[in-house]
Amino acid sequence: MKTYTTDHIRNVVLLGGTRSGKTTLSEAMLFEGKVVDRRGTVEAKTTMSDNSEIEQLNQRSIYPTLLYTEFMDRKLNIIDTPGADDFIGGVVSAFKVADVGLMVVNAQQGVEVGTDIFARYAERHSKPLIFAVNQLDAEKASWDDTVESLKQHFGNQIALVQYPVNPGPSFNTFVDVLTMKMYRFKDENGTREDLPIPAEEEARANELHKALVEIAAEHDESLMELFFEKGNLTEDEIRQGLRAGLVHRQVMPVFCVSAKKDVGTKRLMEFIINVAPSPEKARDYKTTADELVPCDSNGAPSIFVFKTVVEPHMGEVSYFRVMSGKITEGMDLTNAANGTKERLTAIYAAAGKKREKVTEMIAGDLGCTVKLKNTKTNQTLNGGGKDWQFHTIKFPPAKFRTAIKAKVEKDDEKLGEILNRAHAEDPTIVVEYSKELKQIILSGQGEQHINVLKWQLNNVHKIEVEMFPPRIPYRETITKVAAADYRHKKQSGGAGQFGEVHLLIEPYVEGAPENNRFKVDGQERVLNLKGKEEHPLEWGGKLIYYNCIVGGAIDARFMPAILKGIMEKMEEGPLTGSYARDIKVYVYDGKMHPVDSNEISFKLAGRNAFKEAFKKAGPKIMEPVYSLEVMVPGDAMGDVMSDLQNRRAIIEGMSSEKNFEVLKARVPLAEMNKYSTTLSSLSSGRATFTMEFADYQQVPAEVQDKLLKDYEAQSNEKDE
């Protein structure tokens, strides 16, 4: 393969809902560029893109795949992405390195869930969009309905470049109102005739051509003047205007194709090459130091790793974009994140698992390399003395949580290694061992997402696992003042143990004034605040520890041991074993023994005195509450609201955004198990949501009673 200069490269991300035909279209594009001699099919499991066993079993894309094709003396890098929202991580990573989105729309369905979701992501990442209406050869294909749905969703940004003459099973002809030609296809290998527009199509073609000229003129002042002067624009002038509108996301050109029959693929690729921005015209990338780095082949060499996978026989494969300069085989670069040097032992242009070795790549190109030792996804490698670090890919927060463990204990270590590797390959898989919950918590974008990982564990790595609802990180605290004392005494030959602690506890409230007067059990008590320690807790909240000992009742050297005992009990709260928080403890009296008192005695006395006081201080259980934002179509709003109310949600507000209603609520985490699955069912997959931790709130009385009973039952089981 020859080396392509920056202006001869186009980077395209293929977008669209499940079954829209992205993978089939990518095969046609590779075939037109002679990268493959024969087009594979999803059904025959022979495509370059869906090349993993799980994708072939499911007959759909699950992972993003980097492909390339060569056409019109240009290189098109194509990233084929999954169509389901559960695998959105692949789309987000592709947006980081691609310059234009090609949205594939099923002509039988029009704008679908995936179309909406990915269009919102394209907007968020400021990526231009081109639409390809696919499957126009299907029995139920409707060009008019599809165009109408596009206009409803995207308004006057939609610009029709083509229209089909005979949509349906016999589809083989369309009119292009940019070139003002009719194209008829003789076979299913892209062989076409370029014909003049017949008389019966002239009126429609002229009307659409005029509309396209006006759209092009709107986005370039010089073209607008020409249009007023001549009343028309040339092909090249129309392209110039569309290019200006496309780059600023003000124009979304629409094409018609049948990827399965290779109808229209070539014209679509010609347009991408002629109109879509090359890397240096798309946008420059900023570093974390706010430095703008031009996509310049003469700049310092720099690459950004956007995807890392481990393959049998290949080891670790790192996919990258050349951000600046030129990289060559054997070049040494430095990792800006950790300072280690990496050698590019080999550079490849990738078409799925087919890789062509190249000696060099220029700024703007996409490729892969192997066996980098200390470089992962989201890291930058530089040469030329630069220390650039490009902003990392921001993946969406997890929407689905589950606890996981190996069925066989000896597989625990292996399971941990595989889960960590899965996170490295797909950062939207989040793995956390919760010391508090004593569980491995696995999070992802949805139940399908996690089920794919489970399939890999069972079938590829041969580990049987169990998945179950994760425990909830409750918190325990108190609502009133209480006092207790405890004497620890043990005598069993030799040195004994003795320690007695009297303490008082009250709720801690941020900003409240200090107090030394208390009324406990009907009696007034005034304490002498001699010493104060403030301990922010790693699980949130605080413990304030006061030394109020007078007259040497407890030696100062035993005060840290009492604190240690109290802290131990706060790590395993008296009610449900959850972390306790926001408590003031006043140690005001006690007793020692001249021989038997030691640190362990006072630790146990402090622990048990705190436990007894806690139970008398109006204890309450706090639960984590999350802020939830749901984007839902209007016709599903009632069902979604009803479901949330059944989950103890508090609705905080509603608004509208384009074709969706936006519902904001606060909902307890305990009620959100498998919410992504339920929401998908209620909205036929059209709704999406995000959630983030808000705060802790007291659980309702009936919920607290149930939690206490459940904890007591578990404790009894352990004792037995």
Q: DSSP label at 537?
A: -
pLDDT digits 0-9 by tens, 488-514: 998 766 678 999 999 999 999 999 999
Decide if pLDDT at 600 tops 80: yes
Whether the per-residue pLDDT at 317 is higher than 60: the answer is: yes
The CATH code of domain 621-702 reads 3.30.70.240
* CB crowding 461-493: b at 16 or more within 10 Å, else e: eebebebeebbbbbbbbbeebbbbbbebeeeee
**pLDDT the model gives residue 558:** 97
Q: pLDDT tens digits for 77-103?
A: 999 999 999 999 999 999 999 999 999
Query: What are the tens digits of pLDDT across the range 50-63?
Result: 989 999 999 999 99
Q: Which CATH architecture has domain 7-208+249-282?
A: 3-Layer(aba) Sandwich (3.40)
Does the pLDDT of residue 718 top 70, yes or no?
Answer: no
Cα angle vertex 111, ends 107, 112, to 5°? 105
What fold, for 285-382? Elongation Factor Tu (Ef-tu); domain 3 (2.40.30)
Domains 285-382 and 476-618 share a fold: no
Residues in the chain: 720
In terms of Cβ atoms closer than 10 Å to its own Cβ (0-12, 13-18, 19+), residue 509 is: exposed
Domain positions in the chain: 7-208+249-282, 285-382, 400-468, 476-618, 621-702
User: Do 165 and 174 form a contact (C-beta atoms < 8 A)?
Assistant: yes
pLDDT at position 483 over 70: yes
476-618 adopts what CATH topology?
Ribosomal Protein S5; domain 2 (3.30.230)
Ramachandran sector of residue 684 (left: φ over 0; alpha: ψ -120 to 50; beta: rest): left
What letter represents residue 324's amino acid?
S
The model's pLDDT over 433-475, given as tens digits with 9 standing for 90+, comes to 998 899 999 999 999 999 999 999 999 999 999 999 999 999 9
pTM reported for the whole predicted model? 0.88
Q: Read off the pLDDT of residues 360-410 as tens digits, 9 standing for 90 and up.
A: 999 999 999 999 999 999 999 999 999 999 999 999 999 999 999 999 999
Domain 400-468: CATH architecture, name and number where available: 2-Layer Sandwich (3.30)
SS3 50: coil
